[in-house]
């Protein structure tokens, strides 16, 4: 994002942004139906990007890249280019679900095992009754095209992709134009949220 400065840590460009700033920004982006790609990068992601050029270049197309892990925060400080705070995928997911509930936004949930996604959807219906579940699918699909078609047809405002890294970032990079949405890879968050 042009609105925030960036700092490079071992090849990944991190956005200097707090939890509150990211949330405010994503709320605005969502209201304006902007297409956005959020990466919450942990040390494993940064290290993987160092040895995979394609993945590194994809990370650098993200609109916001936050430090998901205290290791990144400490590294940034040691390098003399501090980042304000840790911004995790899980916390950001919870904040966005709350917002989606308040604003009756459309959410697509993609990823995790079939039993996990089913439990997650039950939880979402219970805890976020005003959020609209545009669609959902487990993360062990063969027919990628039909998933993308479903996302396109249901026009979600948010697409949360829980395929683990690097799969989720490759997926988002390839298909983010299929809906004018906030796209975010959320790693193992569905497993946590499903309980
Ligand atoms: N997953 C999936 N499809 C796959 C591989 C993984 O849906 O082909 C899911 C898996 O069930 C889990 C998440 O992706 O819910 C990966 O979680 P993990 O904690 O490993 O995330 P990471 O830290 O690797 O991003």
191 CA: nearest ligand 1 atom = 15
Give me ligand 1 centre to Cα 115, in Å: 14
By most ligand atoms within 8 Å of CB, the mutation choice from 162, 166, 189 for ligand 1 is: 162
pLDDT at 37 (0 to 100) = 98
Provide the CATH topology of domain 22-194. Answer: Rossmann fold (3.40.50)
Q: What is the pLDDT of residues 73-125, one digit of tens each?
A: 999 999 999 999 999 999 999 999 999 999 999 999 999 999 999 999 999 99
Distance CA 123, CA 40 (A): 23
Flag whether pLDDT at 1 surpasses 70: no
Q: What is the pLDDT of residues 12-31, one digit of tens each?
A: 999 999 999 999 999 999 99
Q: What is the pLDDT of residues 146-179, one digit of tens each?
A: 999 999 999 999 999 999 999 999 999 999 999 9
**8 A C-beta contact, residue 49 and residue 43:** no
Residue 94 has a CB neighbour count (10 Å cut-off) of 14
* Domain range list for the chain: 22-194
pLDDT at 2 (0 to 100) = 75
Nearest to 109 by CA among 53, 150, 81, 58: 150
Residue-wise DSSP of 81-147: ---S----HHHHHHHHHHHHHHTT-EEEEEES-HHHHHHHHHHHHHH-TTSEEEEEE-S--S-HHHH
185 CA: nearest ligand 1 atom = 25
């Amino acid at each position: 994002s042009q609105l925030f400065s960036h700092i490079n840590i071992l090849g990944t460009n991190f956005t200097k942004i707090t939890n509150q700033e990211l949330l405010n920004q994503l709320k605005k982006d969502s209201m304006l139906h902007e297409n956005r790609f959020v990466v919450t990068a942990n040390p494993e992601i940064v290290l993987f990007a160092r040895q995979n050029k394609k993945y590194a270049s994809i990370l650098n197309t993200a609109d916001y890249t936050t430090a998901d892990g205290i290791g990144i925060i400490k590294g940034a400080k040691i390098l003399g280019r501090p980042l304000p705070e840790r911004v995790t995928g899980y916390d950001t997911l919870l904040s966005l679900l709350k917002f989606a509930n308040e604003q009756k936004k459309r959410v697509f949930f993609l990823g995790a095992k079939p039993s996990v996604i089913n439990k997650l959807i039950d939880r979402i219906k219970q805890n976020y009754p005003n959020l609209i579940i545009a669609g959902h699918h487990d993360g062990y699909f063969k027919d990628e095209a039909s998933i993308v078609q479903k996302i396109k047809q249901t026009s979600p405002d948010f697409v949360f992709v829980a395929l683990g890294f690097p799969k989720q970032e490759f997926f988002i990079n390839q298909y983010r134009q299929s809906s004018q949405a906030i796209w975010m890879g959320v790693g193992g968050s569905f497993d946590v949220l499903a309980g």
